[in-house]
Structures are given as C-alpha cells and as structure tokens.
Structure 1
Amino acid sequence: MTNVAMNPITEDDIANFLVHTPDFFERHAELLSTVKLTSPHNHRSISLQERQAEMMREKIRALELRMMDMMRHGTENEVLIERMQRWVKTLLMTSNARDLPHTIADHIQHDFMVPQVAIKVWGVREDFKIEPFAQSVIDPIKDFAASLTTPYVGINNNFDAVQWLADPAAAQSVAFIALRATRPEDTPQTAAEQPVIGLLVLASPDPQRYYEGMGTTIIERMGDLASAALSHLR
C-alpha cells in the first residue's frame, strides 16, 4: 500500500503546495483560464482571473467607503468645533452673571440644534436666589445630579427634572449633565469629585437622539465649560 493511499491528499495539502510553489501557475498558465470558481455575487461560474478582479474591485470599493466615511466624520468634527467655539465665545462675552444660565441653555438649543434645554443652579449667592434658574429644585433632583459621575443619556423615565422643560411630554430621550464647582486645575477625573451646583437637561422628541452607550465626550466638555462659567454665581 502506498503512502498516498494511506494518507490521502487533503485540501490543506493542495493549498500549502500552491502557497509554497509560486511558479506552479507559470508552468501551467493555461489553468488560470480553465479553473472555474463560483462568484459570491451571482453564483455563476467564473475564471480564477475574473474572481481575482472581483476581489480587487471589492477592496477598492471598501477603501472608497472608508475614505468617504473619514471625510464625512472630518466635516462633522469641523462643524462641531465651530459650534463649540461660537458657544464658548458667547459665554465669554456675557458680562452680566445673571444672564449666564439663560445664555448657556439658549445657545446650546440653537447652536447645537437641541429641541429643548433647561438648566437649574443651586448654592448661588443670595442676590441670585430669586432668579428662575435657582427656583423649583427639589432635593431628589439634587441627589440625582450628585449621583452622576458621567452624563445620563437615554429614554426619559419620567424624571423630575424633565418638568423644567417647556414641553415635558415631548421629551422622549434626554441627557442630564451634572454641573460642578470645578477649579482651573481640575482634570476630568478630579472635576467629577467636586460638589454639584446644578443640572443641565437636554431633551428631544426623537427616542434615539440620546441613547445608552452613545459617546458623551462633547456633552461632558459642554458641562465642564458651563460649570466654569457659572462660577460667577457663587
């Protein structure tokens, strides 16, 4: 009995032979046009050369899609940076501290196209306690805000703070950003350890606008900047 009969050639043996014998198809060039494969696109028989051409077109198409995606994200990032810069500039140019909460909320709503925005601040100086932004803050809301080490994003589960919005019933998804008494030297980690001084509420009628697991880097930075601006109220 021969060794071949005892150990039949497997597909792996053939593949290994072809990989390690690169000149095989040079010696048998006619096979390139006679070997037939099944196309994954229309399931018809095609030559090896045609399949290689298909695979190359697929790679080119994948690269084109990736490039288009990178360009789209680049454009979106530029727009986002421009909006953030405009918002920060507005905060810096707000000379009256009393106007800051309204300015923060109003420009988030318009510059970032958020359907509804509300903000409340507590622990303010005596002369600011009569302002609307310092009213109607119950202890459960303060406790909820203090529990947020990162923004809450997701479905509106009838949160108390949603009642601050002009149309609470329209808020299907929400983002809650705790505002803290941050210091200039704070890092994102140490800032999260500072006392909570307020809560920023973003809301949308779209249930998917704010969802669990989404990226929150931008709204976290927004909260940091708003917190810094509101230091003038303390």
Structure 2
Amino acid sequence: MKTEDVAHYLVNHPDFFNEYADLLNDLQIPHPHQNNVVSLHERQAIALRDKNKVLQDKLLELISFGEENDAISEKMHRLTIALLTAYNFDDFLNGLQYCLREDFAIPYFVMRIWGLDLENKDYDEFAETSEDVHAIAASLNQPYCGNHVADGIKALFAENGEHLQSFSMIPLNTTRPIGLLVLASPEIERFYADMGTLHLKRLGELISASIARHSLTVDNPSQNHDQHPIDGQPV
C-alpha cells in the first residue's frame, strides 16, 4: 500500500477515527522542527502555530508596506506644497531639489527641459540635450527603473556617471514631451526593474504641471498668469 492510498482512504472515510478513537492518542508523529515525536493533537497544535506565524508575518509585511506608503505620501505632500507655493522658477527648482535630496534621500538627479519658447536659457535644466535623450523621453509611457541606461543619460551626470549603478528615468509631459528627470544612485538596488512606479509617475506629473505653470514666468514674472503656460492663449 502506498502513502497516497492511505491518504485517499482517510479522506474518503471521515468516520475512521470515530471508530478507532484511541488511535488519536496513541499515534506518534515526527516533530516538524525537532528530532522527536509528538502526539497527533500536539502535531495539530504545531501546525496551527506555524499557520498563525505565517499569517502574522504577512500582517506585519502589510503594515510595513502601509507605513512606507504613508511616509512616501507625506513626502509627496510636502513637495506638492513646496511647488505650489513657488513664486518663480528659482523657487520651483530650489523646492524640488531640496525635497529630492533631503526628503527622498536621492543623492544624484538631473532634469532636462526642452521645447518651451523661453528666452532665458541660463538654467542648467535648459542645457541642450541630444536627440537620443529626447527620443528616450518620448518613448517612456511610464518611469523606467533599472541598472542599464544609455551612455547619453549617464553623460548628464558628468564625472559622477561612472559611479552610478541604478537609475530611474521619469518622462515630463504636458500635451507633448517637454523633458526628462533622471534619478540615480551608486547603490545597485536603489532603483530596480520590478519596483513600483506609481509614486514616480505622480512625481513626473507634478513636476510637469509645475514647469508648465512657471514656463512663462522664467523670463518675466510680471507676465499675465491668466494665459496658458505653454502656448500663451487665454485659459
């Protein structure tokens, strides 16, 4: 008789232990974690404790995820307030850079913006970028996270590029691509391929809206704020 036959018989004969009730006390079963035997009742108690431990671990994991999401949401809220209250483009950049560096602890980040009709190009963010970088930004439907990026992306970090191991590329869009935000870290696991990108996507949308809001005020803060920030048409 095979063990499968015994298991099949017991499943199909649930009254077996009613007829042989003494077996429940007499059966000795190997302990799952030690080199001794236990009764069936003890074995069931151990199984319940193990199941409870698994459920507790899952609960703690969910609580940890919830606390992590709450912390990220709080940081995103502070960033939103900083960008909403920015009077001009300088305030916008200062608020963004402070939050990325201090709140999100991102050691390296670069932002490039293009395609806006602005006379003042003195900001590093408006430095000329290659068509390859433009094409990469246009190809991203959502943020990319991983260890491999094009040489043109690494070049944005100048001499720091060779030390960086993981990256997140976040497209900036209004009605069209207007830029790219690249976050980077020397830690290979900081931005990994399977990580969630919901908060990164929201970060890109928030920054894009803020850039659109300030695009006319970069050159002249006194310009009419009732105009559309991209094409100059009334809202």
TM-score scaled by length of structure 1: 0.82
Give the aligned partner of residue 222 of structure 2: none
Give the aligned partner of residue 142 of structure 1: 134
Displacement of 1:107: 1.7
Give the aligned partner of residue 126 of structure 1: 118
Give the aligned partner of residue 34 of structure 1: 26
Query: Residue 201 of structure 2 is aligned with which of 220, 230, 233?
Result: 220
Displacement of 1:132: 2.0
CA contact (8 A) 2:149 2:167 kept: no
Q: 1:13 to 1:158 in 2, by over 3 A?
A: closer
Give the aligned partner of residue 177 of structure 1: 170
Between the aligned residues of both structures, percent identity stands at 32
SS, match of residue 126 in structure 1: coil
Structure 1 gaps of 5+ residues are: 1-8, 182-193
CA contact (8 A) 1:98 1:128 kept: no
Distance 2:182 2:169 in 1: 5
Structure 2 gaps of 5+ residues are: 216-229, 231-235
Task: Verify: 1:151 aligned to 2:151, yes or no.
Answer: no
Distance 2:156 2:98 in 1: 14
Query: Residue 104 of structure 1 is aligned with which of 87, 96, 111?
Result: 96
CA contact (8 A) 1:162 1:201 kept: no
Displacement of 1:156: 4.0
Distance 1:157 1:151 in 2: 13
Distance 1:16 1:140 in 2: 64
Displacement of 1:129: 2.4
TM-score scaled by length of structure 2: 0.81
Distance 2:116 2:122 in 1: 10
CA contact (8 A) 1:105 1:119 kept: no
SS, match of residue 171 in structure 2: strand
Q: 1:228 to 1:52 in 2, by over 3 A?
A: same
Distance 2:186 2:28 in 1: 55
CA contact (8 A) 1:177 1:199 kept: yes
Query: Residue 50 of structure 1 is aligned with which of 39, 42, 66?
Result: 42
Highest relative contact order (Cα 8 Å, sep 6+), 1 or 2?
1
Distance 1:126 1:24 in 2: 85
Displacement of 1:143: 1.6
Name the Cα RMSD after superposition. Answer: 2.2
Task: Verify: 1:201 aligned to 2:194, yes or no.
Answer: no
User: 4+ runs of 1 displaced by more than 6 Å?
Assistant: none
Displacement of 1:135: 1.0
Give the aligned partner of residue 71 of structure 1: 63
Q: 1:99 to 1:43 in 2, by over 3 A?
A: same
